[in-house]
Amino acid sequence: MNSDAATQSFFQNVMRNFDRASRYTRYPKGLLEQIKVCNSVYRFQFPIQTSEDEYEVISAWRVEHSQHLLPTKGGIRYSEDVNEDEVMALAALMTFKCAIVDVPYGGAKGGIKINPKKYSTSQLQRITRRYAAELVKKNFLGPGIDVVAPDYGSGEREMAWIADTYITLYSESTDAIACVTGKPVGLGGIRGRREATGRGVCFGIREACDVAEDMKALGLTTGLSGKRVIVQGLGNVGYHAAKFLEQSGCVIVGLAEREGAIHNPDGMDLEAVVRHRSENRSILNYPRATNLPRSSDALELDCDILVPAALENTITAENAPRIKARIIGEAANGPTTAEAEEILLSKGALLIPDIFLNAGGLIVSYFEWLKNLQHVRMGRMAKRFTETSTIHLVEAIEKLTGKSLVLTEKRQLAHGPDEEDLVNSGLEDTLIAAYHEIRNIAKSRNVDLRAASLIIAINKVADAYIRLGVFP
């Protein structure tokens, strides 16, 4: 671990950023303290039977950081390295993230201290179901209480097991399936969720790059086209962020994974690298790039945009002075330590913070929860109606002008929105609005984007507390 990461825990790092932003607000000290603290920290252990006469004790957590709005919401991390401090930090980030993108939840997070790769599917299923049952026992799971989601090491499969466990325990509840998001589409999940975080990362970076004044200050041209990008971590978030950035005209010049990093200043074809990795179990030795000695070397390469999309604390006081990127898009949670951030900002870089940039998954999870509570697929009621009325409008114009479109053109024009169209449109709109709200605060208060995001979050959470009053 690096020096600054070693002296400051992840939670302390998040709280240090909170304190920095709270200086720009005028709330009573006690209220700010209430917004900072984790309301409920549930640490528990449970056994699983690994063979006829062998047992293993599993450590797990669920932290509900803020219950100012219910349900609370947050992913479950499956990792050997997960600890209470990390779960608390991630839960706090969720509270701020929800407030920033106007998703009406409190923040939460969960953790199971295992390396999922060391367990069979059947063992993982038993661990996941028991974890869910333990949460139910203590009222830490439910569509109106606390809604879980995937995070590092977990995915659709685990979410399906959790949904089934909850439905089994609450078979009379018609909303039971809304206790978890990130489910497979066939089981109440929503189209577009898998790509949502990476797609959102691309939308957020695009908004930043479209502000001519800010790009000029960085010495860059406006827009994404031609921007040289390095992505660290080719998992769900990193892969999709890289894919949508590439589709938007960016050039991928560096990629880093656990096994190493590759570099080509002229750009690489992302899909070809992914194919190479699945055939060779490594990104290294990709024929149209150079291997770097260490994976972390990729962070220091010459580029315009650096997207850390792996884990926390990867940009530290040690490597920050050598980072050349003008824009750092935090796709992972907490990839930059507080000291590293000061160094990057003092070099004039633009840091787009995690609490805004990676909120895409959360936003689309909110759409999934709404879909589950409404018991209807988005677009189902309006799609055909929109198509028919647009066709009628086109026909009226044709009649008036005496000119007509061919049927395929007419159909294309009249396309009524599917679930995925609505999800992507809602995601884009939310992130555009949030970015400009953050930038306006940053400009008017003369602060960086993270401080501006946190000022917005503190204002919204404080406002909820003031309106709700304190019970009793």
Residue 69 DSSP class: S
Judged by CB under 6 A, which of 13, 197, 313, 453 binds ligand NAD? 197
Smallest separation, CB 367 to ligand NAD (Å): 13
Phi-psi region of 173 (alpha: psi -120 to 50; beta: other; left: phi over 0): beta
Cβ-based nearer residue to ligand NAD, 192 or 379: 192
CB of 251 to ligand NAD, least distance (A): 20
CB nearer to ligand NAD: pick between 22 and 358 = 358
CB neighbours of 46 closer than 8 A, spacing ≥ 6?
57, 58, 60, 130, 131, 134
Supply the minimum distance, in Å, between the C-beta of residue 322 and ligand NAD.
Answer: 16
- Verify binding: residue 95, ligand NAD, rule CB under 6 A: no
Closest-CA residue to 18 (of 333, 349, 458)? 458
Residues 6-25 that bind ligand NAD (CB under 6 A): none
List 140, 152, 161, 367, residue binding ligand NAD (CB under 6 A): 152
The span of 19-27, 132-140, 286-294, 330-338 binding ligand NAD (CB under 6 A) equals 330-338
Residues 6+ apart with CB under 8 A from 397: none
The residue with tokens 């990127």 is: 325
Give, for 58, the enclosing helix (H) or strand (E).
Answer: strand 54-64
Count the neighbouring beta carbons within 10 Å of the beta carbon of residue 267.
Answer: 17
| Of positions 151, 164, 339, 341, contacts ligand NAD by CB under 6 A | 151
Residue 384 Cβ vs ligand NAD, minimum distance, rounded to whole Å: 32
Residues 225-254 that bind ligand NAD (CB under 6 A): 232-238
Among 258, 322, 347, 392, binds ligand NAD (CB under 6 A): 258
Residues 341-370 that bind ligand NAD (CB under 6 A): 358, 361
Binding mask 22-61 for ligand NAD (x = CB under 6 A): ----------------------------------------
Q: For residue 174, what are the CA distances in angstroms to 33, 129, 302, 374?
A: 38, 20, 54, 10
Give the helix, strand, coil percentages of the chain, each rounded to 5. 50, 15, 35
Least distance CB 133 / ligand NAD (angstroms): 24
Q: Which of 36, 73, 109, 113 is catalytic?
A: 109
Determine the Cα–Cα distance for residues 147 and 142; give it in Å rounded to an integer: 6
Segment (H or E) for 42? strand 40-51
Q: Which is nearer to ligand NAD, 215 or 320 (CB)?
A: 320
> Which of 17, 22, 72, 333: binder of ligand NAD (CB under 6 A)?
333
Half-sphere exposure of residue 128: CA atoms within 13 angstroms, side-chain side: 32
Would you say 10 or 27 has its CB closer to ligand NAD?
10
The nearer residue to ligand NAD, 258 or 436, going by C-beta atoms, is 258
Per DSSP, which regions of 274-410 are E strands?
290-292, 305-308, 327-329, 350-352
CA angle 98, 463, 21 (to 5 degrees): 70
- Degrees to nearest 5, angle at CA 283 with 278 and 289: 130
Q: Which is nearer to ligand NAD, 165 or 236 (CB)?
A: 236
Q: Is 109 a catalytic residue?
A: yes
Q: Residues near 20 by Cβ (< 8 Å), separated by ≥ 6?
A: 451, 454
Name the minimum Å distance from CB 27 to ligand NAD: 28
Q: Angle, to 10 degrees, between the axis of helix 10-22 and the axis of helix 84-100? A: 40
The residue number with the shortest CB distance to ligand NAD is: 235
Residues that bind ligand NAD (CB under 6 A): 151-152, 197, 232-238, 256-258, 295, 309-311, 331-333, 358, 361
Active-site positions read 109
